[in-house]
């Protein structure tokens, strides 16, 4: 639907289904594109950088060790302002060998100025990829994007997906055109490439005078311009296709909530069920879906949490990334909500809506005491039913 012209491909599960299916579409004549099969992810990223610099829209899917292999090229892509889009079906990092999910594989790249989208289901993935191309390729942005979703739990489950008409997509996403001054083929002088000139991304610069300024421009493009573009592009998408996800964040039953869950990815769907269950028991719970981890929607989260008494942050990574970023965003505000962080679901460990309800109840008990004793901790249990939840809550009270 995005009219990708080049598919750069090296297989790694569970992301390899993306390249495999695109290859089948090309073989059937359903997609007018070329497959470039390469020997590793580093080579794939090199190929995708050069193809994109030449004005070609590309596609690439990888995860975990595949992203590790391409680390230097990932950094080059953002600093050179190359608007690549990579889909990532999260997979936990080794050792030991694990094929199931957590989001450490992209969280570890939170500081290299990529856009990070976190999707909860297949429809979300489809809609977000189209939006990611439009935002990344905007001449005022020109920053690469990760469009991520949970490996196996989302990548290998079946979901209903509404596909739009081709005419709608073409109206929303025009053909990829690099700004003329950034066209690699027209502007690269290879005789100078091998000279003593010092190169940084597009063109040659006086490093002492321009390097820091270019980094500042990149940071502004991510944290200011891209924020505005993500919201505007999402609004346009919603108007054309009739589906929306709130832009940077999406809220659910937060208007009168005492405790608000903050989550990303497939945890969002699980947390919605937990919120409904808690509401039936008289607990005023709500949910905020963090759709873009980078740029981080700090101001938006602070605004949505203004009337909440506590927030429960669910992190599927070892560094409690969302928890710490939210704490930083709230720093300095008068009477902020209590923030409780829980590291959950690493390596694909199950997290049920009973687990989410338990953690919300932890927060309610903290509110009763006026403090949360364990502000950030790891939740290992898998609470499978109401009876088991009742026992865990009794232990908590005891």
The residue among 119, 126, 127 whose CA lies nearest residue 90 is 119
Residue 187: the pLDDT is 57
Hey, do 6-180 and 249-397 end up sharing a CATH topology, with the first three levels equal? yes
Q: What values do phi and psi take at 60, rounded to 5?
A: -155, 140
For the segment 340-358, what is each residue's pLDDT rounded down to a tens digit?
Answer: 999 999 999 999 999 999 9
The residue among 321, 254, 272 whose CA lies nearest residue 293 is 321
Cis amide prior to 14 (ω within 30 degrees): yes
* Orientation angle between helical segments 41-53 and 71-79, nearest 10 degrees: 20
Residue 147: the pLDDT is 98
DSSP-derived 3-state class of residue 338: strand
Angstrom distance (rounded) from CA 49 to CA 55: 10
- Dihedral sign, CA of 199, 200, 203, 207? negative
* Three-class DSSP labels, 302-321: HHHCCCCCEEEEEECCCCCH
Would the pLDDT of 110 be above 70?
yes
- Partners of 71 in the beta sheet? none
Largest separation between any pair of C-alpha atoms in the chain: 75
The residue among 241, 233, 221 whose CA lies nearest residue 164 is 241
Q: 6-180: what fold?
A: Rossmann fold (3.40.50)
Instruction: Please give the structure tokens belonging to residue 342.
Output: 């829980």
Position with higher pLDDT, 364 vs 199: 364
Would the pLDDT of 197 be above 50?
no
The whole-number average pLDDT for the span 34-44 is 94
Angstrom distance (rounded) from CA 221 to CA 219: 5
H/E stretch holding 271 reads: helix 267-280
Would the pLDDT of 116 be above 90?
yes
Would the pLDDT of 186 be above 90?
no
The answer to whether the beta carbons of residues 12 and 64 sit under 8 Å apart is yes
The model carries a pTM of 0.94
Phi-psi region of 204 (alpha: psi -120 to 50; beta: other; left: phi over 0): beta
For the segment 146-176, what is each residue's pLDDT rounded down to a tens digit?
Answer: 999 999 999 999 999 999 999 999 999 999 9
Per-residue confidence band for 194, with pLDDT thresholds at 50, 70 and 90? very low
Instruction: Please give the structure tokens belonging to residue 142.
Output: 């020109």
What is the chain's percent helix, strand, coil content, to nearest 5? 45, 15, 40
Using CA atoms, how far residue 287 sits from 256, 271, 293, 360, in Å, is 11, 7, 16, 11
- Partners of 249 in the beta sheet? 290
Instruction: Please give the structure tokens belonging to residue 40.
Output: 């590793």
The answer to whether the beta carbons of residues 389 and 327 sit under 8 Å apart is no
Angstrom distance (rounded) from CA 168 to CA 158: 25
The domain segmentation of the chain, as residue ranges, is 6-180, 249-397
- Dihedral sign, CA of 129, 46, 176, 210? positive
Share of residues in the chain with pLDDT > 90 (%): 87
CATH code for the part of the protein at 249-397? 3.40.50.920
Would the pLDDT of 215 be above 80?
yes
Phi-psi region of 225 (alpha: psi -120 to 50; beta: other; left: phi over 0): alpha
- Partners of 34 in the beta sheet? 6
For the segment 61-87, what is each residue's pLDDT rounded down to a tens digit?
Answer: 999 999 999 999 999 999 989 999 999
Would the pLDDT of 204 be above 90?
no
């Amino acid at each position: 639907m995005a009219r990708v012209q080049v598919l750069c491909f090296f297989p790694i599960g569970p992301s390899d289904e993306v390249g495999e299916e695109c290859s089948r579409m090309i073989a059937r004549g359903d997609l007018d594109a070329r497959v470039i099969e390469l020997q590793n992810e580093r080579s794939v990223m090199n190929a995708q950088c050069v193809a994109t610099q030449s004005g070609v829209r590309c596609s690439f899917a990888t995860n975990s060790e595949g992203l590790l292999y391409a680390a230097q090229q990932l950094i080059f892509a953002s600093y050179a302002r190359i608007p690549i889009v990579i889909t990532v079906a999260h997979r936990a990092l080794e050792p030991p060998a694990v094929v199931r999910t957590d989001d450490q594989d992209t969280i570890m790249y939170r500081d290299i100025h990529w856009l990070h989208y976190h999707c909860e289901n297949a429809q979300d993935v489809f809609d977000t990829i189209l939006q990611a191309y439009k935002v990344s390729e905007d001449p005022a942005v020109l920053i690469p994007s990760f469009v991520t979703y949970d490996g196996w739990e989302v990548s290998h489950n079946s979901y209903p997906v509404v596909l739009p008409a081709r005419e709608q997509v073409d109206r929303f996403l025009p053909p990829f055109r690099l700004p003329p001054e950034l066209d690699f083929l027209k502007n690269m002088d290879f005789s100078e490439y091998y000279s003593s000139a010092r190169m940084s991304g597009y063109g040659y610069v006086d490093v002492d005078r321009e390097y820091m300024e270019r980094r500042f421009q990149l940071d502004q493009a991510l944290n200011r311009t891209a924020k505005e573009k993500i919201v505007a592009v999402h609004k346009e998408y919603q108007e054309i296709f009739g589906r929306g996800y709130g832009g940077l964040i999406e809220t659910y039953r937060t208007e009168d909530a005492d405790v608000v869950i903050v989550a990303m990815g497939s945890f969002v769907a699980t947390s919605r069920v937990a919120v409904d269950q808690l509401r039936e028991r008289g607990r005023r719970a709500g949910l905020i879906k963090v759709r873009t981890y980078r740029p981080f929607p700090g101001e938006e989260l602070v605004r949505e949490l203004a009337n909440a008494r506590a927030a429960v942050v669910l992190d599927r990574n070892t560094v409690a990334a969302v928890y710490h970023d939210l704490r930083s965003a709230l720093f300095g505000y008068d009477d902020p909500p209590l923030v409780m962080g829980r590291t959950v679901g690493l390596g694909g460990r199950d997290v049920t809506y009973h687990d989410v309800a338990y953690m919300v109840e932890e927060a309610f008990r903290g509110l009763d005491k006026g403090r949360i004793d364990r502000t950030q901790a790891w939740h290992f249990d898998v609470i499978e039913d109401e009876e088991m939840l009742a026992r865990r809550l009794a232990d908590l009270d005891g």
